[in-house]
Structure 1
Amino acid sequence: MAAQPGIPAPAASRPRLAPQGDTPDTADTAPARARPNPELLRHLVSYEYRSMVIRQLQITVEWQSIEWLDLAACRDSDAATQQACRRCPVRAPCLAAAIAIDDPAQWRGGVTRDERIVLWEQLETAFQNLRDLEFTHLDRLVDGRSAG
């Protein structure tokens, strides 16, 4: 099967850049691949899920670009404080980023860590309710019933 643009070719059909020494007597002595760090994987999956929830709820703050970091009131200090957050011009992207990455810092976006945990739980509940409503609507369409 020919490789399609943008889709990697299967491993067996990928061209090799240099001889690998895959003879039967050396195949068993090849070094094992390093296993991914489970904590890093957990963090990445959590970030992707939280980012998806934020996007699905159409929270349109541009927090993924990093330009806003230069405008943060706390950029020259060791930690954000309530006072710095009050005068900060980029509270919204800071808060969205802190929620997406589950930032452990005490203050982000003018909100404490505990308040962000509660806010995330509310966002996640809203997302799940919206998803369930959409599934119900799709079920009714498939069954031929009116979605009301």
Structure 2
Amino acid sequence: MATRLTYDLTYEAALTEVGEMLMDPAFREQVCDAQGALRRTVTIGPDGGGMKVVIDSVQAADGIPGFARKFVGDEIQLVQTEKWTDMENGLVDVVIPGRPGSMSGTMTLREAGGTTTETVDMEIRVSIPLVGGKIESLIADLLRKALKAENAVGRRRLAG
């Protein structure tokens, strides 16, 4: 079983401006800070004909229900790897090192009328008997909050 998450982030800016923002390490670090990261490392660089973004962040497990906390501990390390083939299309994988489960999908940028929409479409899989579905749902909620924070940071940056 898997849980699907689709989320749209909208920006009042041209696609090239949004794409450049997504490739800026300072922006990604601001997003980590807004998401409450305790520690973070952001690496962005060429990858074949495209770009690769790796965000390794650690967050406190505060607010995580007890049934899930025993699987993650007091802190949650997330390693997000994005491979952008061009400015409009990317693949994303998120892992929690040493824990069962995976999150993978696509990111697309589309511009219409001066507004750019980034669509994140991910499948979340946690292969733990009995509680896997609950943990997938919890991860989907956490990812939704993280994407909402990213969108807020991006909108402020592009407006300023």
The TM-score with structure 2 as length reference comes to: 0.26
Higher relative contact order, structure no. (Cα contacts within 8 Å, ≥ 6 residues apart): 2
The structure with the greater share of residues assigned to helix is 1
Higher fraction of strand: 2
